[in-house]
Amino acid sequence: MIVRNLKKYMMFFSVIAVNLILLLWSPSLVEVSVTKSLNFLKEVLLILPPVMVLMGLLDVWVPRQMVEAHLGHDAGLRGAGFAILLGTAAAGPLYAAFPIAISLMNKGARVANVVIFLGTWAAIKIPMIIMESSFIGLRFALLRLMFTVPCVLAAGYLIEAILPVDVVLVTAEQV
């Protein structure tokens, strides 16, 4: 039990170990490393509480039947389209999407649709497309979108085909 709990914090312990090694090797880098680590921790602590509130509201307000109807196995391509819409409307960094994805999985969403939601959150947000259009041009933004959407869809269905559902559900329950 203790070993399992320690494994959850392996990344944290790794950052501390790297900082200790840097302290011996190059003390000037330690200050930069610690500052960056603390800034990232502050960012996470500012973003995760609202995400947890959103997750709680999702659990209470959105019935399981609704998630199953729109993102479940019987939703078909409509479910993939709904997952894309959810992902494009999202705001915030990708790590904020993972608790929402777990909540969707626990409510009966199909693995492919959850992966499509995560891929869309990462690569196809509406504000990102607007920024791309203004900086690089509308043609580039639409071309990138045209190539990204099929890749996100393919990744979702491929991961669902490769990864057994029972493994995904067990992992989601462990979190």
Residue whose entry in the numeric block shows the structure tokens 């109807």: 69
Amino acid at 4: R
33 or 76, which is more confident: 76
Q: Pick from 73, 167, 53, 56: which is nearest to 114 by CA?
A: 73
What single-letter DSSP state applies at residue 26? -
3-state secondary structure of 156: helix
- DSSP assignments along 50-62, one per residue: HHHHHHHHHHHHS
Neighbours of 110 (CB within 10 A): 25
The model's pTM? 0.78
CA–CA gap between residue 131 and residue 140 (Å, rounded): 11
Q: What angle do CA 141, 142, 148 make, to 5 degrees?
A: 90
Residue-wise pLDDT tens digits, 123-148: 998 888 888 999 999 999 999 999 99
Residue-wise pLDDT tens digits, 19-75: 888 888 888 888 888 888 889 889 888 888 888 888 888 888 888 899 999 999 999
Mean pLDDT of the chain: 87
Q: Are 71 and 115 in contact (CB under 8 A)?
A: no
CA–CA gap between residue 97 and residue 120 (Å, rounded): 10
Q: Which two tokens stand for residue 121?
A: 């959150």
Indicate if the pLDDT at residue 172 is higher than 70: no
- Domain spans of the chain? 1-46, 62-174
Amino acid at 169: L
